[in-house]
Amino acid sequence: MPRPAHNAAPPSASALPARRAPVPAAVLDLLCCPVCHGALTQPAEATIQCTACQRRYPLRDGIPVLIASASLA
């Protein structure tokens, strides 16, 4: 007998639509640029940027990658 539809397995994470919430301001306040220790902002969905030296850092799965060698500019 087939299983009822309500017992179906949930969709995998890769099948779900990608939703990237901004990094909360409270989190950005705790972080700083690894190069110059300047404050960080999030000007775009996939990056955060230092307000002092203008270096940009990627976000991977919503997590800032604050490694100097990983900076985008």
Instruction: Spell out the domain ranges in the chain.
Output: 22-70
Q: How far is CA 67 from the centre of its chain?
A: 14
Nearest-CA neighbor of 50 among 66, 63, 62?
A: 66
CA angle, 44 as apex, 32 and 34 as ends, to 5°?
Answer: 20
Q: Let me know how many helices (H) and strands (E) the chain has, helices first.
A: 1, 4
pTM of the model: 0.69
- Reported as a single tens digit per residue, the pLDDT across 5-28 is 555 555 554 444 445 678 999 999
Which residue's entry shows tokens 């890769």? 14
User: Residue 31 corresponds to which tokens in the numbers above?
Assistant: 């972080």
- Reported as a single tens digit per residue, the pLDDT across 28-56 is 999 999 999 999 999 988 999 999 999 99
